[in-house]
Structure 1
Amino acid sequence: MTNPNEAKAARTKLCHYTTQAVYYGDDDLVGDLLGQVSFVDVFMKQTFGMVPTAAQRRIVEAVLVTLMEHGMTPSAIATRMIYASSPENLQAGVAAGLLAVASRFVGTMEPAAELLGRIVDAGNQGPTEAQRIAQDFRTRREAVPGFGHHLHRPDDPRAIALLKLAREVGTHGPHCAALEQLAAEIDAAAGRHITINATGAIAAILGDIGIPAALMRGFAVLSRAAGLIAHIAEEQREPSGRFIWDLVDGAMTPEYLAD
């Protein structure tokens, strides 16, 4: 008889190996994957248990390309500064930058997706739920995740392109529709047009291919890691770490302390 208090044995289905082979799930790494399957396909199967269709693959690729580079944002600056301090550890710089993929920068598709999920789950009451969300954020004077941008106004060209792609490949579904409902209610509550930003569009298009909200930020982590490696490559060619340090130090240190 099984003891109900006995801890369940831990195990993984992601990988196992023998003296002759390495397996990703049931796939032989050498015999089934190497040189035959794309990185995106392996990532999607390992993470979500799905082999993406051609349409889903285009959506994922578009998301990864969109999130890879945002210029000199906190994540890129952190990466460059840590690399300048520890050039023997490329991974330390990347890790520092990835810590900034969170609820304010880059990773906002997660809370945006949670809001869209509420609208989708409301079914016929979706428009009412969208109105409730918009009014709630307006009352609290808080920005709605997935909306607003300091530069891209009145619209974010990335969001427009991503939503257009979803329509073109046939994945535009209830989460994209929920985004449109929410956008209309946010505009009405604000009395003006508020930009749907890239992460808002990403939340919608990933939701429509079956990606759960709790794992969407993983796409930002995966993509931004590649972008941060590019920042380190540029830092190796044209170091900027000392410039950033001096710029901040000069702007923030009182003159009597700087002397």
Structure 2
Amino acid sequence: MTEPHTRPVYRTALGASDLKTITLLGHDLAEDIMGSVGFGELAFWLATQRRPSPGETRVFEAVLAALADHGFTPTAIVTRLTYLSAPDSIQGALAAGLLGGGSRFLGVTEDTGRFLHDVLESLRGAVPSDEAGWDEVALRTVQEQRAAAKFVPGLGHHVHKAGDPRTPRLMQIATEEGLFGPHLSLFAAIGRVHPDVLGKTLPLNGAGVCGAALADLGLPLPLLRGFALLARAAGLIGQLAEELRHPVARDVFLSVDLNNTSVAPDPFTPDPLEEGRTG
């Protein structure tokens, strides 16, 4: 006997709709969320499927503000140039800028959060209870990275060499809200002890402290870069709005186009140590 056909069911706690209503996170979108829930709070809620406390919302939105726009970064420039090339494709311009969020720009938020989390996991629950204990863990961590010839993610900034102004402010907000957790504690300790190992003082990167704060909020580590991109999307819209009023993309393009110089070919020479290797 043939089994009756059954319709597949795809479960979701996010958006669902019928003829008259839209449900989001178990609430009526129009009646319960629109006009009552801010976008930052909603973004946190969507990612965690739990409504954040006012303190969590404040820290989360401070992170979004910290990462929204940093001026003429590569992500901003490529967004403006893509819009110059294809003004009919606003989504292409935004996508171009977001695709540039990687290890050098924006990606340090995720890299730092993951790095700090891995160190904390290695403690197997033996979390320090005071500043001296955190300094001991941080010192060992920086020494191990130094011995392995590896950088500490989130340590250093190419512009704010005397101190990233976002770092103390975000730490202050987290402290005020009682959300200065183990990731921020470890990162702060790295800031205190690293000169003894490296022989120089480097600032704690603002994007790095954002990663520590997001990790302390319990947000999923694989999504940390996504939150940085969420923030940067707002900044890129601002870049495009300014490009409409005060365009610079054509000047950037012409600066390169009119000032390039033809030179002899420079053939690529493979590294002999890489020859014969496979993925």
Question: Shorter-chain-normalised TM-score: which range?
Answer: 0.7 to 0.9
Q: Confirm whether residue 232 of structure 1 aligns to residue 234 of structure 2.
A: no
Cα RMSD (Å): 2.2
Letter in 1 for 2:248: S
Give the aligned length: 249
The alpha carbon displacement at 1:149 in A equals 0.7
**Partner of 1:224: helix, strand, or coil?**
helix
Deviates more, 1:177-186 or 1:35-44: 177-186
Gaps of 5+ in 1: 1-7
Q: Confirm whether residue 124 of structure 1 aligns to residue 126 of structure 2.
A: yes
Q: Per-residue CA shift, 1:21-40, capped at 9, x if unaligned?
A: 11112111112111121112
Q: Confirm whether residue 178 of structure 1 aligns to residue 186 of structure 2.
A: yes
Taking structure 1 as the reference length, the TM-score comes to: 0.88
Equivalent positions of 1:90-239 (< 5 A) are 90-121=90-121, 122=123, 123-124=125-126, 130-239=138-247
Q: As a proportion of its length, which structure holds more helix?
A: 1
Give the Cα–Cα distance (whole angstroms) in 2 for the partners of residues 179 and 170 of structure 1.
17
Give the Cα–Cα distance (whole angstroms) in 2 for the partners of residues 68 and 15 of structure 1.
26
Give the Cα–Cα distance (whole angstroms) in 2 for the partners of residues 12 and 137 of structure 1.
42
Q: Confirm whether residue 245 of structure 1 aligns to residue 247 of structure 2.
A: no
The alpha carbon displacement at 1:195 in A equals 0.8
The alpha carbon displacement at 1:157 in A equals 0.9
Q: Per-residue CA shift, 1:66-119, capped at 9, x if unaligned?
A: 111111001001100000001111111011000111121012111111111123
Gaps of 5+ in 2: 1-7, 129-133, 265-279
Contact conserved, 2:138 with 2:190, CA < 8 A, in 1? yes
1:132–1:253 distance in 2 versus 1, CA, 3 Å: farther
Contact conserved, 1:108 with 1:145, CA < 8 A, in 2? yes
**Partner of 1:23: helix, strand, or coil?**
strand
1:179–1:90 distance in 2 versus 1, CA, 3 Å: same
1:201–1:23 distance in 2 versus 1, CA, 3 Å: same
Letter in 2 for 1:99: L
The alpha carbon displacement at 1:250 in A equals 4.3
**Partner of 2:151: helix, strand, or coil?**
coil
Give the Cα–Cα distance (whole angstroms) in 2 for the partners of residues 36 and 133 of structure 1.
44
